[in-house]
Amino acid sequence: MGYVYRYWHFYTKESSARIYRQASFETMSVNYLMFHTMDVEMAIDNLKEIYNQKK
């Protein structure tokens, strides 16, 4: 998960606080099995979509 958070920053240039708001530890834990074999950019895009659907 740490790798995904770090890659997310480089991929989107978002701050750590904004990233964590979109994908908390709980969100990452719940979705781990679904995303762990996925390309990291695709996983980030999907996590962002999950966040946007909750708004």
> What pLDDT score was predicted for residue 42?
96
Please state, in angstroms and as integers, the Cα–Cα distance from residue 1 to each residue in 20, 42, 55, following that order. 11, 14, 23
> What pLDDT score was predicted for residue 5?
96
Is residue 46 within 8 A of residue 17, CB to CB? The reply is no
| Number of structural domains found in the chain | 1
> What pLDDT score was predicted for residue 48?
96
For the stretch 11-54, pLDDT in tens is: 999 999 999 999 999 999 999 999 989 999 999 999 999 999 98
Query: Which structural domain range is residue 47 located in?
Result: 2-54
User: Residue 21's Cα: distance from chain center in Å?
Assistant: 10
At 2, the pLDDT band (50, 70, 90 cuts) reads: very high
> What pLDDT score was predicted for residue 55?
79
**pLDDT of residue 4 exceeding 90:** yes
